[in-house]
Structure 1
Amino acid sequence: MNRLQRNRVNKLIKLIVMSILEEVDEEISVIQKKKLWVRKWIDRRDKLGATNCLLKELAFEDPKEYFDSLRMSESCVNFLLTKIHSQIQRKDTHLRSAIPAITKLQVVLYFLATGCSLRSLTHIFRLGKSTISEFIIEVCEAIYESLMEFIKIPTFTDWKIIENGFREQWNFPGCCGAIDGKHVVIKAPPESGSLYYNYKETNSIVLMAVVDHKYCFSYIDVGCNGRVSDGGVFRNCSLYEELENGVLPEGHVLVGDNAFPLKEYLLKPFPGNRLTLQQKIFNYRLSRARRIVENAFGILAARFRVFEKPMPYSPEKVVKIVKTCCALHNWLRQTKLQNRQYEYTVDSEHFEAGTSVPGNWRNEPQSLGMQPIPISLSNRSSQRSINRREKYANYFVGSGSIPWQARMIH
């Protein structure tokens, strides 16, 4: 290699080195700017954030307070983390360390349990408000996907198991569930007009659900806009089409209140105050079975205080939040990991005294973010539907009577 060639090579090497140094300087500058941009108190998250400080203390010293903060015991949180870790954990980069999956999960559970604002979450967990806003729905989707097996549409065999549960536990043969619906109140989306404006003069989407004999949601439909009224709420949900097409086994029914129309597959109470003894007994027996769905919704709203007030998110995001809460409700009622000592109790009856004992979920403040659907004004029922109700009424005062029913109606 002659001198000219060596000079050219040296110049090329110098150019490459200078280029590398410039890139390194730029990266150092970006890192320095990033460090300056992150507020110092947020940068101390690893040491002073709730994940590594407060929640660890509560789990060790005060399990009840830990339970109240996340609505589940530490073992449940850890199990849930193993199911969704790969979906929500991001990789570290040379600019920043990724937020730990456990922190993301705890933030979302705390949000669902308390309904607190993003600003409060920012202070508690030492995360940026925009950062929390970005991953809340991501984590909700991961939770719902991991727990879908607990809230899937019942198969023919499942319906039979539920029917047997209502027969054995609630003395209502042929019943495959109790149905009810709630308006989940939201803040009006921009430029939505009156699309979500309901009869209570709030904006909402509708959660329609069927609950099984164990207070679990066996079928949910979320997202119908709150503007529809009366029986239209029921008719505009996908569940209505499923029931019309015979999703229930032949001859089986659901039980509901006066918000629903009387159908062959859907029984409701006899209306009015001047009822015969037979009609009163039917209404009591139906109310006893239907109380399951009232308790399920009550526990859902008490457990997840995110329903306490209107949700300030788009309807699409609220749908995902509601589905996640329903899936968590079912899983927590069925998993053996949950600490039953702190769980909400359901309504019960003292048959000898002819009285009922309310569940402790009724002691919680009334949820303003979940409202009942209106009473159906439709009084057009087929003769076959009327006959089905009369058949049950005759059965309940005949071969299907139970010893305490006369005491309970008085």
Structure 2
Amino acid sequence: MYEALDKYLQVPDKREWENIQVGFHHRWNFPGCCGAIDGKHVVIQAPPNCGSEYYNYKGTNSLVLLAVVDHDYCFKYVEIGSYGRNSDGGVFQASSLYPVLENGSLLPEGGFLVGDDAFSLKTYLLKRYPNEPTIAEKIYNYRFTRARRIVENAFGILSPFRVLAKPIQLQEETAIKMIRTTCVLHNWLRKSSLHTYTPPCSIDYEDIVNFTTNLGTWRSEINALPSIARSRINNRSKFAAEKLREKYKFFLCNEGAVTWQNYMINNN
């Protein structure tokens, strides 16, 4: 089945990355964003004599699914196979995605991903301001969250697949193919059966009249995929990345502002 639907999960070319940027700009008001990155544990039955390699902080054995999602909740890059004990940051640095982001050959000029606190701040990977942010930083964090929430929801939509609801009892290679197939099916259903597969209430949505965020029904599902543990690697930000985030914050508070952002941060 995966081979038959292979076209629904391919790493974008330059033109498609640019189209994704346009989507994040128009739909989520976060210009320049090319995708949201995150990782989840998929629980498996550990192979014999594997030691603790698959054992994660949740007390289960798992493989890690690392993914980049576009503005329409579709997976554009997935890598499966890192051991469950690894963090998001460690999985990311060991992935095939990391070197092409580091050398600048993947994304359009000025393009970037958004990720959570497990990832290091980079010029190609923005993240939230931590601790107790200023008003300007709260505005940035609010706008950032609107973009990063897409990957949370994509994983939430994916989690009800029955194969993911209990430990996968297959050889690792077969398990990886099965997990990848669920991502392909997800993309196909998003394209072919949008309103049946993901009715509006199933994903988070904002009410910019009453200035509230309404959580999708997937968040109450007991089978939601567990997140990866926070990274233990050195997560100090580089100067250029910090300057870029500061510049972006200034933009979002001025010419890039949306009319409801102050109401949203005050109401939440």
* TM score, norm. by length of structure 1: 0.62
Query: 1:121 maps to which residue?
Result: none
1:231 and 2:105 equivalent? no
The residue that corresponds to 1:76 in the other structure is: none
Q: Which one of the candidate residues 232, 256, 263 is aligned to 1:400? A: 256
Is 2:137 aligned against 1:279? yes
How far off is 1:230 after superposition? 5.5
2:231 is matched with which residue? 376
Q: Deviations over 1:11-48 (max 9, x none)?
A: xxxxxxxxxxxxxxxxxxxxxxxxxxxxxxxxxxxxxx
Partner of 1:145: helix, strand, or coil? coil
CA deviation digits over 1:112-140, x for unaligned, max 9?
A: xxxxxxxxxxxxxxxxxxxxxxxxxxxxx
Provide the secondary structure at the position in 1 that maps to 2:226: strand
* 8 Å contact kept, 2:87–2:230: no
Asked whether the 8 Å contact 2:86–2:229 carries over to 1, the reply is no
Q: Which SS does the other structure have where 2:85 is aligned? A: coil
Matched, 1:390 2:234: no
Contact 2:157 2:198 in 1 (8 A): no
* Partners of 1:185 and 1:371 within 8 A in 2: no
Task: Indicate the structure (1 or 2) with the bigger Cα radius of gyration.
Answer: 1
Query: Does 2:66 correspond to 1:211?
Result: no
* Cα distance in structure 2, aligned partners of 1:284 and 1:153: 28
| RCO higher in structure (CA 8 A, sep ≥6) | 2
Tell me which of 312, 321, 334 is aligned to 2:178: 321
Same amino acid, percent of matched pairs: 53
| Amino acid in structure 2 at the alignment position of 1:156 | K
User: CA deviation digits over 1:280-313, x for unaligned, max 9?
Assistant: 11111000111111110000002x0221222122
Residue aligned with 2:38, SS? strand
What are structure 2's unaligned runs of at least 5 residues? none
2:205 counterpart residue number: 348
- Say yes or no: does 1:362 pair with 2:252: no
Query: Which of 117, 128, 134 lines up with 1:269 in the alignment?
Result: 128
How many residue pairs align between the two structures?
Answer: 262
C-alpha distance in 1, partners of 2:198/2:138?
33
CA positional deviation for 1:318: 1.2
1:340 alignment partner AA: H
Q: Is the partner of 2:222 in helix, strand or coil?
A: coil
Distance in 1 between residues matched to 2:88 and 2:223, nearest whole Å: 23
CA spacing shift, 1:284–1:363, aligned 2, 3 Å: same
The structure-2 alpha-carbon separation of the partners of 1:224 and 1:341, relative to structure 1 and needing over 3 Å to count, comes to closer
RMSD across aligned C-alpha pairs, in angstroms? Answer: 1.5
Q: Does 1:260 align with 2:119?
A: yes
Structure 2 residue 50 is the aligned partner of structure 1 residue 192: yes
**Equivalent residue for 2:166?**
309
- The match for 1:294 among 124, 147, 152 is 152
Q: Deviations over 1:249-287 (max 9, x none)?
A: 121110111121111100010111x21001111111000
CA separation of 1:170 and 1:364: change in aligned 2, threshold 3 A: same
